[in-house]
């Protein structure tokens, strides 16, 4: 595809008009489309220049030749095709002070894997986290040179990324879930910090101070915005927060991502061209994507498809899991619940209350006491089990 801006993105093509109703229904699509078009003009930057600049930031990786025995996507009813986007957080921890886990050796690391499922009716989205400590049977995969990387039984989930990068993680996911991945995104953690700083920080509710001298972390309690290294440490910390588990860290990451989405679409970021330009610049520098999302126009088109999803209907959960019987420090997926989650996703069916318990929505965040009002979501009184899960994660209840 040429770097020329699509005709519909030219300044004289007409810009989307604001509607009163849209103010009450915040959408992911607003961020992506408005940023590529409206922002360029409002900030005094040329649309073509901004488009090409952001495109130049994005890294594109084609892993299609490395994937084998891919599952067939199930046909479902709906105005659109359901979409499955696998998001992987890449964290080399080679930067100064970044290796808070004191891990040895270089190479690729992925501490975060989230499947984002977007329904065919574009009315709900699930972000399903997979614990890095999950013990699975990793299938064979193919490296960039076309050579086979042998699989292994009873290994940690994130080993696939270490031995073969995004391709082996996608191969593993599709093999274990029978869900076809449509797109993938790798987000660099250091760039993630830039995204947070660009919007002036992200609000969190910290019930107790986080003091971890061994890793140089000292974060005060309270409800406030955090940014910079403090924000990066917050989403990485696992040792002295809540019950110290990786599940707790994932839940904090889910809440943080939800709060960041809320900040972008509800916190005035769209009204501040300088903030939004910096946010998009940092975001695109942090991304590695498949060829289907090779430029900001493709990403914006993807975002527009989701314009019916309000923040309350973007729900984060963790795949059901239990301690590994052979190693209490590791996890295995809880059956049959985990299998039922993946089957529901494959069939594009809403998750039952049992399967989607303990969720966090982008419109109703822990400790915020507020909801965007854009959907049914998971608002209302929390059960004691939900409150305990939040407390275990070091989140306000």
Question: How far is the CA of 297 from the CAs of 3, 197, 231, 281, in angstroms?
Answer: 10, 24, 29, 14
21-201+251-363 CATH fold: Aminopeptidase (3.40.630)
Q: Which two tokens stand for residue 89?
A: 């957080």
Residues 371, 315 contacting (CB under 8 angstroms): no
Please list the helix, strand and coil fractions of the chain in percent, rounded to the nearest 5, in that order: 40, 20, 40
Q: Which range is most confident: 14-28, 49-63, 153-167, 209-223?
A: 153-167
How confident is the model at residue 325, as a pLDDT? 93
**158-178 mean pLDDT:** 96
How many angstroms separate the CA atoms of 230 and 201, rounded? 10
Least confident of 137-146, 201-210, 330-339, 353-362: 353-362
Q: Which two tokens stand for residue 118?
A: 């977007």
pLDDT over threshold 70, residue 371: no
Let me know the angle formed at the C-alpha of 227 by 309 and 158, rounded to the nearest 5 degrees.
Answer: 70
Contacts of 169 (CB under 8 A, 6+ apart): 86, 88, 110, 113, 160, 161
Least confident of 124-133, 260-269, 301-310, 331-340: 301-310
Enumerate the domain spans of the chain: 21-201+251-363
Q: Model-level pTM? A: 0.78
Least confident of 90-94, 139-143, 157-161, 285-289: 90-94
DSSP 382: P
**4-24 mean pLDDT:** 43
Give the number of C-alpha atoms closer than 13 A to the C-alpha of residue 219, restricted to the C-beta side. 28
How confident is the model at residue 2, as a pLDDT? 43
Beta bridge partners of 83: 118
pLDDT over threshold 60, residue 97: no
Closest by CA position to 189, among listed 255, 109, 307: 109
Let me know the angle formed at the C-alpha of 136 by 131 and 142, rounded to the nearest 5 degrees.
Answer: 105
Beta bridge partners of 316: 127, 360
Residues 204, 234 contacting (CB under 8 angstroms): yes
How many angstroms separate the CA atoms of 333 and 321, rounded? 4
Query: If you average pLDDT over every residue of the chain, what do you get?
Result: 77
Q: Which two tokens stand for residue 162?
A: 């270490």
């Amino acid at each position: 595809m040429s770097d020329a801006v699509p005709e519909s993105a030219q300044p004289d093509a007409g810009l989307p008009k604001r509607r009163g109703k849209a103010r009450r229904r915040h959408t992911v699509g607003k961020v992506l489309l408005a940023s590529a078009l409206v922002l360029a003009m409002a900030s005094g930057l040329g649309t073509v220049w901004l488009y090409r600049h952001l495109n130049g930031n994005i890294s594109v990786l084609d892993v299609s030749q490395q994937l084998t025995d891919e599952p067939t996507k199930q046909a479902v009813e709906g105005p659109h095709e359901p979409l499955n986007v696998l998001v992987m957080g890449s964290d080399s921890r080679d930067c100064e002070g970044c290796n808070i886990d004191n891990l040895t050796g270089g190479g690729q690391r992925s501490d975060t894997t989230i499947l984002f499922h977007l329904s065919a009716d574009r009315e709900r989205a699930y972000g399903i986290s997979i614990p890095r400590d999950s013990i699975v049977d990793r299938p064979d995969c193919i490296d960039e040179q076309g050579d086979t990387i042998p699989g292994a039984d009873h290994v940690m989930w994130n080993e696939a990324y270490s031995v073969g990068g995004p391709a082996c993680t996608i191969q593993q996911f599709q093999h274990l879930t029978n869900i076809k991945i449509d797109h993938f995104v790798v987000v660099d953690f250091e760039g993630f910090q830039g995204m947070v700083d660009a919007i002036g920080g992200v609000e969190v509710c910290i019930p107790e101070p986080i003091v971890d001298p061994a890793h140089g972390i000292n974060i005060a309690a309270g409800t406030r915005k955090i940014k910079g290294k403090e924000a990066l440490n917050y989403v990485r910390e696992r040792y002295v927060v809540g019950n110290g588990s990786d599940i707790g860290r994932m839940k904090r990451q889910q809440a943080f991502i939800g709060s960041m989405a809320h900040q972008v679409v509800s916190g005035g970021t769209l009204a501040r061209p300088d903030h939004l330009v910096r946010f998009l610049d940092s975001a695109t520098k942090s991304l590695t994507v498949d060829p289907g999302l090779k430029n900001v126009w493709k990403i914006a088109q993807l975002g527009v498809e989701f314009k019916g999803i309000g923040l309350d209907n973007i729900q984060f959960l963790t795949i059901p899991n239990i301690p590994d019987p052979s190693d209490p420090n590791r996890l295995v997926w809880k059956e049959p619940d985990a299998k039922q989650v993946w089957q529901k996703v494959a069939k594009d069916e809403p998750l039952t209350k049992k399967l989607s318990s303990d969720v966090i929505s982008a419109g109703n965040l822990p400790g915020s006491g507020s909801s965007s009002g854009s959907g049914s979501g998971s608002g209302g009184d929390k059960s004691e089990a939900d409150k305990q899960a939040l407390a275990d994660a070091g989140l306000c209840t």
